[in-house]
Amino acid sequence: MRLLQVFISAAALGVAVNSTAPAATVAGIHALASRLLGNRDDQFEFHLAEKHEKWSRYNVPANDNYTVTSSGGKIRVEGTTLSALARGLRHYANEALRLDEYWFINSTVKVPERLPKPKAALSGASTVPWRYNLNTVTFGYTFVWYSWSDWEKLLDWAALRGVNIQLAWVGYEKIYLDSFLKLGLKEDDILKFFSGAAFQPWNRFGNVHGTWGGEGLLSREWIDQQFALQKKIVARMVELGITPVLPGFPGFVPDALRHLRPKADIVQAPAWSGFPDNNTRTAFLNPTDVLYAELQKSFIEVQIKEFGNVTNIYTVDQFNEIDPGSDSIKALANISSQTYNGITAANPAAIWLMQGWLFYSGNSFWTRERVEAYLGGPPHKDDMLLLDLYSESQPQWQRTNSYAGRPWIWCELHDFGGNQAFYGAISNVTENSVAALAESDTLVGYGLTPEGYEGNEVVYDLMLDQAWEELPIDTKKYFHKWTSLRYGAEESIPEEVFRAWELLRDNAYDVKDAAIPAVGVSIYQIMPSLNGLTNRTGHYPSPTALPYDPMIMKEVWRLFYNATLKASRLLAMPSFHLDFVDVTRQLMGNAYIDLYHDLIHTFKTSENATLVQERGSNMLSFLKGLDAVLNTDENFTFEKWLNDAKAWGETTGALDAMAFNARSQVTVWGIQSELDDYAAKAWSGLVKSYYGKRWQIFVDALVDAKKQKADLDEAAVQNRIRDFEVSWQYRGYRQETCETRGDIQTVIKKLTKRWPTVFL
Q: What is the number of alpha carbons within 13 Å of residue 254 lying toward its C-beta?
A: 26
Instruction: Give CA–CA dist 536/331, Å, rounded.
Output: 39
Contacts of 369 (CB under 8 A, 6+ apart): 329
Radius of gyration of the chain (CA): 26
Residue 50: pLDDT band with limits 50, 70, 90: low
57-77 pLDDT, tens per residue?
Answer: 233 347 999 999 999 999 999
Instruction: Give CA–CA dist 731/483, Å, rounded.
Output: 41
Residue 419 has pLDDT above 70, yes or no: yes
Look at residue 16 in the predicted model and tell me its pLDDT.
Answer: 39
Distances (CA, A) of 483 to 135, 486, 487, 492, 733: 27, 5, 6, 12, 37
Look at residue 19 in the predicted model and tell me its pLDDT.
Answer: 36
Average pLDDT, rounded, for the chain: 94
Cβ atoms within 10 Å, residue 185: 20
Our measurement of the distance from residue 87's CA atom to the centroid of its chain's CA atoms, rounded to an integer in Å, reads 22
User: Per-residue pLDDT averaged across 369-388, rounded?
Assistant: 97
95-137 pLDDT, tens per residue?
Answer: 999 999 999 999 989 999 999 999 999 999 999 999 999 999 9
Residue 234 has pLDDT above 90, yes or no: yes
Contacts of 674 (CB under 8 A, 6+ apart): 273, 274
Instruction: Give CA–CA dist 280/591, Å, rounded.
Output: 39
Residue 10 has pLDDT above 60, yes or no: no
Instruction: Give CA–CA dist 75/287, Å, rounded.
Output: 53
Look at residue 3 in the predicted model and tell me its pLDDT.
Answer: 54
Look at residue 61 in the predicted model and tell me its pLDDT.
Answer: 41
Distances (CA, A) of 572 to 196, 423, 745: 39, 26, 11
Structural contact between residues 212 and 670, judged by C-beta atoms closer than 8 angstroms? yes
Distances (CA, A) of 446 to 313, 441, 466, 699: 17, 14, 8, 48
Percentage of residues in the chain having pLDDT higher than 70 = 95
- Higher pLDDT among residues 705 and 1, named by residue: 705
Look at residue 151 in the predicted model and tell me its pLDDT.
Answer: 98
User: Per-residue pLDDT averaged across 88-100, rounded?
Assistant: 97
Look at residue 552 in the predicted model and tell me its pLDDT.
Answer: 98
Look at residue 492 in the predicted model and tell me its pLDDT.
Answer: 87
User: Per-residue pLDDT averaged across 728-737, rounded?
Assistant: 94
Residue 8: pLDDT band with limits 50, 70, 90: very low
Q: In 450-573, which residue ranges form alpha helices assigned H by DSSP?
A: 457-466, 475-487, 495-506, 550-566
Look at residue 742 in the predicted model and tell me its pLDDT.
Answer: 87
- Higher pLDDT among residues 671 and 9, named by residue: 671
Residue 22 has pLDDT above 70, yes or no: no
434-451 pLDDT, tens per residue?
Answer: 999 999 999 999 999 999
